[in-house]
Amino acid sequence: MDASATYVYCVARASAKPRASRAPAGLPGATPPRLLDAGGSVWIVCASVPLTSYGPAVLESSLRDLAWVGDIAVAHESVVEHFAQQKNVTVVPMKLFTMFSSEDRAREAMRARRQEILAAVRRISGCEEWGVRITSSGGSITGRAAVLGPAPTTPTSGVAFLTAKKEARDLARERSRTAADSAEHAYSTLSAISRDARRRDDAPEGAVAPLLDAAFLVPTARRSRFKAAARKLAVAATKTGTEVTVTGPWPAYNFVQEPARQ
C-alpha cells in the first residue's frame, strides 16, 4: 500500500455525528471523506491522500500549476460546503493542504487548537459568509472623464483648452469621490445587517483595486434582508458609475480567525 497522509478539510461542531454519506469525492486520488471524533462534539472531516501526489517534494512543484491548485480548491470547497449545509452543524474550514502524517497526529493537532476552534465556532455559529465587490463600471473612473462626461468641444484658444482640461479633471475627481462614497455607504449598510464584516485588500500587484472588496458574516435568519439590501445597492450603483457583485453563501472562511487588532 502506498504511503499516505491525513488531509483535513474542516472541523465540525455538532452534538450528533454529521453525515458523511453522499459527500463529494474531494481531492483527486483521496479516499472518501470520513469523520474522526476529536471529543466534545468536535469532528474532524478528513481523508487519506497519497504521498506520491501530495508529498512535500511533489507538492512544491504542483503548486506552480495554478490550474491544478484551482481544481484542488474547488474539490476542497465542495467537501466543506457539504458539511456546512447540514442542520445544526457549525463548520470551521481548514486552509488548503492542511495535512498530517496520521489520524492520531490530526487529532492531537485539533485538540491542541480546541480553544481556538471553539472560539471560531462561537463567532460563526448560525451564520454564512457573503462576498461583495464594488468596481468602477468602466475600470478606472479617473481615467474616463471624457467618456463619462459631456461630449467635448474643440477649444478655440489656449485658455479654453486649459479650462476644458481643468473641468475634465474636476469631473473625474467628483465622480471618483461619488463612487468612493457609494462604496462606503454600501459597506456601512450591509455591515449593519451582518454580525461581522471584514475588508479584503489582496488585489494583485498592478491591478486596479476595487472600490470595495469585503466579506460579511450574515446570520441565516437575515439572509433575505441582506440580499434585498444588496440588490437595492446594486441598482443605486448604476447611477454612480459602479457595479456591485455579490457572491455566496459560503462557509465562513474569512471569519475563522480573530479580527486583526488595529
Instruction: Name all domains of the chain by residue range, CATH numbers in brackets.
Output: 4-124 (no CATH), 127-255 (3.30.70)
pTM, rounded to two decimals: 0.74
Peptide bond into 249 cis (omega under 30): yes
What was the pLDDT predicted at 257? Answer: 83
Calculate the average pLDDT of the chain.
Answer: 84
Burial class (CB in 10 A: 0-12, 13-18, 19+), 103: middle
Sequence letter at residue 54: Y
Q: Classify 11 as helix, strand or coil.
A: strand
Alpha-carbon gap, residue 13 to 17, rounded angstroms: 9
pLDDT tens string 118-155: 999 999 999 999 999 998 875 432 322 223 334 445 55
Alpha-carbon gap, residue 192 to 214, rounded angstroms: 14
Burial class (CB in 10 A: 0-12, 13-18, 19+), 251: buried
| pLDDT interval class at 165 (50, 70, 90) | low
Alpha-carbon gap, residue 56 to 148, rounded angstroms: 52
Alpha-carbon gap, residue 20 to 12, rounded angstroms: 12
C-alpha cell at 35: 469523520
What was the pLDDT predicted at 181? Answer: 83
Quick check: 19 pLDDT over 80?
A: yes
